[in-house]
Amino acid sequence: MYLSLYRVVGYIRQGITQVQTLDKALTTMSYTMKITDSQIKRMSEDIVGMAKDLSISVDNVSQIYQIYANMQTSTEEMMKTARPTAILANLSGVDASTAADQIQGVLNQFNLLADESEHIVDVYDYISSNISVDYSKGIAGMSEAVKNVGNVAYEAGLSFEQLSAIIGRVMAKTRQDGSTIGNALRTIAVRISKSNKLAGDEVDNATVGNAAKALHNIGVEVYTASGEFRELDTIMTELAAKWDTLSDAEQANISFQIAATRQTSVLKSVLD
């Protein structure tokens, strides 16, 4: 009897603490955002419902909402991105702030809408479930790689889904971390695609010209007849089709011109 009573008291105290945490979070958000009473009510219901559905604390969900409030996102965007952020944090083992940065980064880099946040998590989940890499490490690695190369990949014509699939394949073959893979893919993209205009001092005209010449010599064109860059995916598909027919010397030269000395293993993984 006494044990049951203690449990009841514990549940009551926990409930009071959660209410206080929620009230504090909503009050803080009301200072940083222009929100109405009805919006506060909706957010309150959403926070409590999400905590129950995902079996996480109200405090954790409130933190996610406050993170997005500090990013100056709208209440509608917050309610669309908070749940995927909580799920991503649980799947990858990162904290809420990191997960929010990863979600928001993909949305910004690929010009996606907030309601596509859940799709981002679905893509990471699907790919990580189908590669020979630890599940949580796979998601964390893809997120890190996308952070480093996402804007360049988008400019080069790759979709978020295409880039994530490439990263997953490279991770499984090279066992390299996400940051290394992202930087390697960035090097490749800025040398043979229109994304080089985002590279700044990362690449010069001579390097771009040498890469284009090396590919031209084997029948793969970087530019259209009018002098515009072709899509990166098209260039890489054509190179992959020719790769096994090239001599060792040709492969070595192309690898160096496109990927530089340190990134050749990533290039070969992309082409396989």
**CA end-to-end distance (rounded Å), the chain:** 67
Q: Could you tell me the two tokens for 271? A: 């082409």
173 versus 260: the higher-pLDDT residue is 173
40: enclosing H helix or E strand: helix 37-54
Torsion sign across C-alpha atoms 266, 165, 228, 193: negative
249-257: list long-range contacts, CB under 8 Å, 24+ apart.
250/217, 250/218, 253/214, 254/214, 254/215, 254/218, 257/191, 257/207, 257/210, 257/211, 257/213, 257/214, 257/215
CB 16: neighbour CB atoms within 10 A?
10
pLDDT digits (tens, 9 = 90+) for 60-88: 888 888 888 878 778 888 888 999 999 99
Tell me the average pLDDT across 237-262: 91
**What are the pLDDT digits (tens) for 90-105?**
888 888 889 999 999 9
CA nearest 94: which of 47, 145, 144, 149? 144
What is the pTM assigned to this prediction?
0.81
pLDDT-derived band at 16 (thresholds 50, 70, 90) equals: very low
Q: What is the DSSP string of 60-119?
A: HHHHHHHHHHHTT--HHHHHHHHHHHHHHHHHH---HHHHHHHHHHHHHHTT--GGGHHH
- Look up tokens 């981002």; give the residue: 120
